[in-house]
A and B are shown apart, each in its own frame.
Chain A
Amino acid sequence: MSLAFPLAVSALLFSIGVFGVLARRNAVLLLVSVELMLNAANINLVAFDAWWADALHAGQVLTLFVITIAAAEIGIGLAIVLLVFRARGSSDLDDLGILDERADVPEPIEADIEAPAAIEPHEVRA
């Protein structure tokens, strides 16, 4: 098989991920785009492993490590997104322009615990 096909697929998949990271407004979907970019790198690693016929399987082992790190990354990333959503009431990246705790939403965590009926205070955009 020609090496050009895996290389072309991975390059195009990576640029699709770049587009998603730059264009998406929802923080969860930004992480989805990052996963696409990581998979593009994985295709390259596996293709070079097969091309080299490596006895130590460096490409495939590194792909395994990338998958592991991606799982850890998306776990932590989604935890952070969830925390930001609880604190600010939105996961829209355009709304998250300030870093400090001065949220315009007064303590939605308390509302979350005490009054589950009244917890749709904000619109979420993607």
Chain B
Amino acid sequence: MNLVELAFVLLGALALGAGALAVTTARVVHAALWLAASLAAVAGCFLLLAAELLVWIQVLIYVGAVVVLVLFALMLTRAPTGPVPGAPRARLIVAGVVAAATAAVLLGTLLGTLGGERIDLDSTRVGTASEMGGALFSGWVLPFEALSVLLLAALIGAIALTRRLTAPAPSRRRSEEQPADAAGSTAGHEEGSGR
């Protein structure tokens, strides 16, 4: 085992340990932060596999944007910061059995067929920004453009989903339904203050 393999094993162990904590920890905010640690370790694995541009994209998009988005979503859904009860034990056992079976199948097929191969890191072409740009805009232009349309659709979709369509409705409700609704809203306020 040379130095590169040792570094890869350490980074891989870090990614796996942080990932395992992200799916098992009882505190939901800690799960998002362990996800950031796991994704950063995966970025280190990319670096050892000569994917230079992907390291920066991984750090920018995943560790930066996606983790912050997850933390925002946890805040907006008012997730508790303390420990929360997990799934029932029966479901944990089923999930563990399915995950172990998945790992066995994947490890068996991948290592059984390709486990003996070696990556020649001296002859491989490092994926620098210029190298990746050349590949992207020579052979992958059409998928690239299709992805830009997909991102635009996702942007519009996210805005359309979370927009509050009831913006003019409350004033109309207040002016028109105030007399009929007074008893109900008073009861609601009492219930709210009682908590």
Q: Which residues of A contact B (CB under 8 A)?
A: 1-20, 22-29, 31-33, 35-36, 39, 42-43, 46-47, 49-51, 53-57, 60-61, 63-65, 67-76, 78-83, 85, 91, 109-111, 113-115, 117-118, 120-121, 123-126
Contacts and interface: CB of A to CB of B under 8 A. Distances in A.
Contacts of A125: 84-85
Contact of B115 (A7, A12, A16, A28): A7
Given A17-B23, A71-B65, A126-B28, A5 B12 contact: yes
Main secondary structure of the interface of B (DSSP, over half): helix
A78 B70 contact: yes
B77 A85 contact: yes
Interface residues of B, number: 102
29 contacts: A13-B38, A14-B102, A16-B23, A19-B98, A22-B95, A22-B99, A23-B23, A28-B28, A28-B74, A29-B32, A32-B35, A33-B22, A39-B42, A53-B120, A56-B139, A63-B51, A68-B150, A69-B147, A69-B150, A71-B65, A71-B154, A75-B155, A76-B161, A79-B161, A80-B161, A82-B162, A91-B77, A110-B166, A110-B173
Interface string B28-41: 10011001001100
Counting chain B CB atoms within 10 Å of each CB, the highest count among A16, A22, A80, A110 belongs to A16
A42 B46 CA distance: 9
A15 B84 CA distance: 23
B42 A4 contact: no
A20 B22 contact: yes
Given A5-B8, A9-B16, A118-B193, A75 B22 contact: no
A95 B152 CA distance: 32
Contacts of A4: 111, 114-116
